Structure 1
Amino acid sequence: MDRELAEFARRWEKAELGGDVHTLDRLLADDFRGVGPRGFVLDKEQWLERYASGDLIHDAFDWTEVEVRRHGESAVAIGVQSQQSIVDGRDADGRFRATQFLVKDEAGGGWRLVGIHLSALAEQLP
């Protein structure tokens, strides 16, 4: 993985773990969409609001087994997102195959996450 994308991944993982709305606001593209493991779709504002409101809290959050394919000014990263989390007071622990879609910021501000799609790994499906 190239250095810029590796640094982006490190910053994103740390911001998600800490619920750092300010950093996530800079890392997510304005037209960001996140697809959760149960098929729900959140825009950037909704993604950030879960942290700002305290509805989503991570006790652990890891982004591992990452493979990145860069295509010019865009990239696709596929990896495993593992988390120990509480969402709306309920347990949301899990391991997910995650696909991230990234683009280089046109204004020279580095990489931005434009989308993420999460799927529960088979070992945790009923």
Structure 2
Amino acid sequence: MNKTEILAVYLLLMGGNAIALTEEEAKAQVIAQEKAWSDAVIHHDIAKVASLLADDFIGTDGRGFVTDKAAELKEAEPPAPDSTAPRLVREDLSDFTARIYADTAILNLANTAHFSSKGKETTIKYRRTTVWVHDSSGWRCVSFHASRVVEPPTD
């Protein structure tokens, strides 16, 4: 086999990715993408949100609403100036656990979401699971699920 044939076989086996990521690099990239998604939603960066979500994205948010990519993009739009709906103003992401399976990553984390409405701030805690797939254009989120954390009653 000549060098060109060896390179062609290598690229075929790598799925077009000439440089394989280490597991730690992949974990760091997925966590960075998760943080970028949160930041893009808060700052109404529709183009960034679109670049992070796969076209066939499906999510279930903390309210139990099932969404697709179009719904997520709509949700990330800036609110109308006269809107009284709660506005997401900050998300504190923590407690990351990333697992890598070839070109797929599963990310579990905690999210403390801060909303503002009529001058009052509300905080809601969620646990999130996102599934990311890596292809030639990078990591894209294909699935999302959030569950609201219910605090036990205090006696």
Using structure 2 for the length normalisation, give the TM-score. Answer: 0.68
Quote the RMSD (CA, aligned, Å): 2.4
Task: Specify every segment of 5 or more residues in structure 2 that has no aligned partner in the other structure, as ranges.
Answer: 1-23, 80-84
Q: Which residue of 2 aligns with 1:81?
A: 111
Shift of 1:13: 2.4
After TM superposition, the runs of 4+ consecutive aligned structure 1 residues lying more than 6 A away are none
1 CA distance for matches of 2:91 and 2:106?
20
Checking the alignment, whether the CA contact within 8 Å between 2:30 and 2:132 is kept in structure 1 is: no
- Counterpart code for 1:3: A
Structure 1: give runs of 5+ residues left out of the alignment. none
- State the shift of 1:111 in Å: 0.3
Counterparts of residues 11-22 of structure 1 (less than 5 Å): 11-22=36-47
- Structure 2 residue corresponding to 1:97, chosen from 127, 130, 155: 127
Query: Paired residues, what number?
Result: 121
Q: Where in structure 2 are the equivalents of 1:25-64 lying within 5 Å?
A: 25-52=50-77, 54=79, 57-64=87-94
Structure possessing the higher radius of gyration over alpha carbons? 2
- Decide which of 98, 113, 120 is 2:141's aligned counterpart: 113
Percentage of pairs with the same residue: 26
Which residue among 33, 42, 67 is the counterpart of 2:97? 67
Relative to its length, the structure with more strand (as a share) is: 1
Q: Single out whichever of 109-118 and 57-66 deviates more from structure 2.
A: 57-66
Q: Secondary structure at the match of 2:151?
A: helix
Tell me the CA shift for residue 81 of structure 1. Answer: 1.4
TM-score of the aligned structures, taking structure 1 as reference length: 0.82
Q: CA deviation at 1:15?
A: 1.1
